[in-house]
Amino acid sequence: MLDAEPDHSSSAEGVDDTSARQRSARQPFVLGGGLVLDPRAWNRTNVVAFLLVFAFSMLPVRGLYRAPGSSMEEAFMIVFPRMLLDGKVPNVDFLHLYGPGSLHALAGWYTVFGETLESQRTFGLLQNLAIIIALYVLVRPWGRIASVAAGCVAALLVMTPIGLAALAWHGAVALALWSVVFAIRARITGSIRSWATSGLLAGLALAFRPDIIIAITIAVLAAGWVHRSVALKPFLVGSVVGLVPMWIHLAIAGPVATFEGIVIDPVVTLRPGRELPSPPSFSEIDGALQAIAEAVPPWYPLPAPAANHQLFFWFFAVIIVAIAVPVLAWRLRRRRPSAANDLLFIAGLFGLGILPQAMQRPDSTHLAWVSMVSWPLLIAVIAQLVRERRSEAGPSRRPALTGAAAVIALMLVVTPFYTFRYYALHTRVAVGDLPLPFLVERGDKKFWYGNPEVANSLIAMMPVLDELSDPGDTLIVGTADLSRTVYSDVSIYFLFPELEPGTYYVEMDPGLADAEGSGLAEDIAQADFLVLTNFWSGWLEPNTSTRRQSQEHNQAVRDNFCLVDTYEDNLLMLFERCEGGGGISGADIDGIYPVVPVPEELS
C-alpha cells in the first residue's frame, strides 16, 4: 500500500524543517517524515520491518568476516591508508586509481580502531548497510512489504560480490544514495538543510569515486530543477565541503598527477588490459577471478543455468531494468503526478547513471554493482503499476507482493549462483555448517585465503623473511613473470607492516606496471627483498593482459637479486638483494601453474 503522500500545495520557499517534523508519524522519511527510530515517528510495525531487513543482512556476516579476501583489492584498502598516514601521497608515491576520500576515511578509522582485517571489514559492513538501508528508505512509500523485500534484495546484491571489503565503490554508492534521499526529501519539504546535506553527501561520494558524477548529476538535477533558485546554493556549498579530501589531494599531489592517476590511468591506460567482452561470452566465463571461483563452486540445491549463461543473461537484464525503472516511473508520474512517482523517477535516474560500471567489465561484481540499485527499485515500480492497473484505492498487500515475487523470480533465473548461492555459503560458515578457509597469521595481522597451497607457501616463507629483514627494509611483491603484472598480492605488504613497499606499483595492473619505462625496473633495482608468486600465472582473459610487456623488469631481478628459496613447488619465491645479482628471475623458474600462451593476434 502507498503511504499517505505529503501536501504539495506549499511552495519550496519558506518551508522549513518545522513542517516536516509535524507530519504524520506514518509518513516515510524520504517524503518528509521522521526516522523509523525517531520518538515522534515511532511505530512498532515500522521497527519490526526495519529489523527484518537488518537481520537478513546480518545473517551471513559472521561467515563474511572469515571469508577469503581478495589479496589485491581488499588488501590495498588496508595498506594504502597506512601509507597515507606515513606521509605517502596517492598518485605520487603509489598508484591509486580512485578518489582519495575512501583512503582518508579509512586512515581515520584505523587510527581509532586499529589497522586489522576485522577493522577494515567492519568499515565495509557499515558501507554495505548504508546502501541497503538507503534502498529500504527509498521504497518505504510503497509499504512495509515492498520496503522489506527491497532491503533483502539489496542485501543479496550488496553482500555477495565483494563481501565486507571496504572498497571505494560501495562507499561512493552509499553516500550518493543518501544524497538522493535528502534531495528528494528537500524537494518535498523545501528544507535548506536537506539540500545542504544532499550536497555534502554528493561531494563525499565524488571524493570516493569521481566516476559516479554522472549518476549524481542527473538524479540531483531531476530532484532540484524546479526549485533550483532555492536548492542550488546550499547544494553547491555542501558539495564543496564534501569534496575537501579532493581539494587536499589536489593541493598535495598536484593537478597533473591527480588527473593522470584518477582519469588517464584507469580510463585510458588500464582499460585494454581489464575490459571484458560486452555482452559476456555465452560459452565460457571471461573473467579470470570468476573462472577461478567457479573451478570449485559452492553447493547450490536448485536447478539453474550454467554460471557463464547466468552472466550472459544477467548482463541484458541489468541494462533492461536500469532503463525500465526511470522510463516506467516517468510514465507513471505523467499519468498520476505524485511525490512517490517523482521519487521513483529520480532514484531510477541514479540507477541508470551507474550503468557504465556494468558495461566496462561485465563480471558478476560489476553487474551486481549496478543491479543493487535498480533491482530493489523495480519492486516499487511493479507495485505501483499493479496498483494503478487494478485501481486499488484502499489498503492492499497484493501490489507489493507482486513486485517482490517478480524481482526474486528474476534473480532465481539469472543470478542464483552470484546471489543466493553465496549468501547461503557465508551463512553456512556463520553457523558452523562449513569449515573455515585458510588463515595466515603474523602477529596481530591475519588474512584469509581460499587455497591451501597459497596459505602454506606464505606460512613457510614468512619466518625466513622475518630472519633476513630489518624494519625499514623495502619489499616489492609481484608476479613471478614481471612482464605480465596481471595482479598483485598486496596482502603480503599487510602481513609485513614494518617493511616499506618499495615500488609505486603496490597495486599491479597490466599495461601499467609491466609497460616499458614504467619505473618498475628502477624500483626493483633499489629494493631489498622481492616476493614473487605464480599464484596468477594461469590468468587468462580475452584482453591484452595476456600480452607480455617489457622484459626490463625481469632483467632487473636477474641483475640485482639472488634467489633465497622457493615454496610449494615454486608457487612463491623469495629473493634477496645481492651484489651483481644471481642471474635468475621469477620468470625463469617454472611454477606449478602453466604459463599462459600468448594468442597469435596479441603477440
Interval 465-488: pLDDT, tens: 999 999 999 999 999 999 999 999
Q: How far is CA 261 from the centre of its chain?
A: 19
Average pLDDT over residues 146-158: 97
Tell me the percentage of the chain whose pLDDT exceeds 70: 91
Average pLDDT over residues 551-556: 97
Taking residue 267's Cβ as centre, other Cβ atoms within 10 Å add up to 12
pLDDT at position 442 over 90: yes
* Residue 603 confidence (pLDDT): 34
* Residue 37 confidence (pLDDT): 52
* Residue 142 confidence (pLDDT): 94
**Alpha-carbon distances of 47 from 55, 292, 404, rounded to whole Å:** 12, 42, 20
pLDDT at position 87 over 70: yes
Closest by Cα among 347, 319, 317, 320 to 332:
347
* Residue 593 confidence (pLDDT): 47
Closest by Cα among 483, 572, 588 to 531:
572
* Residue 8 confidence (pLDDT): 36
Residue 462, classed as helix, strand or coil, is helix
The pLDDT-based confidence of 41 (bands split at 50, 70, 90) is: low
Alpha-carbon span 118 to 575, nearest angstrom = 31
Average pLDDT over residues 53-75: 96
Q: What is the pLDDT of residues 379-418, one digit of tens each?
A: 999 999 998 887 655 557 899 999 999 999 999 999 999 9
The pLDDT-based confidence of 441 (bands split at 50, 70, 90) is: very high
Closest by Cα among 174, 141, 193 to 21:
193
Alpha-carbon span 122 to 250, nearest angstrom = 29
Mean pLDDT of the chain: 91
Average pLDDT over residues 563-578: 96
Q: What is the pLDDT of residues 474-527, one digit of tens each?
A: 999 999 999 999 999 999 999 999 999 999 999 999 999 999 999 999 999 999
**Grid cell in block for residue 88:** 605517502
Grid cell 548461492 is found at 421
pLDDT at position 13 over 50: no
Average pLDDT over residues 326-349: 95
Strand partners, 439: 448
Alpha-carbon span 382 to 387, nearest angstrom = 8
Q: Which of the pair, 168 or 594, is modelled with greater confidence?
A: 168
pLDDT at position 36 over 70: no
* Residue 319 confidence (pLDDT): 98
Q: What is the pLDDT of residues 201-221, one digit of tens each?
A: 999 999 999 999 999 999 999
Grid cell 576485522 is found at 118
Residue 478, classed as helix, strand or coil, is strand
pLDDT at position 571 over 70: yes
Q: Which of the pair, 549 or 26, is modelled with greater confidence?
A: 549
Q: Which of the pair, 558 or 390, is modelled with greater confidence?
A: 558
Query: Lowest-confidence range among 336-350, 468-482, 507-521, 587-601?
Result: 587-601
Average pLDDT over residues 426-442: 94
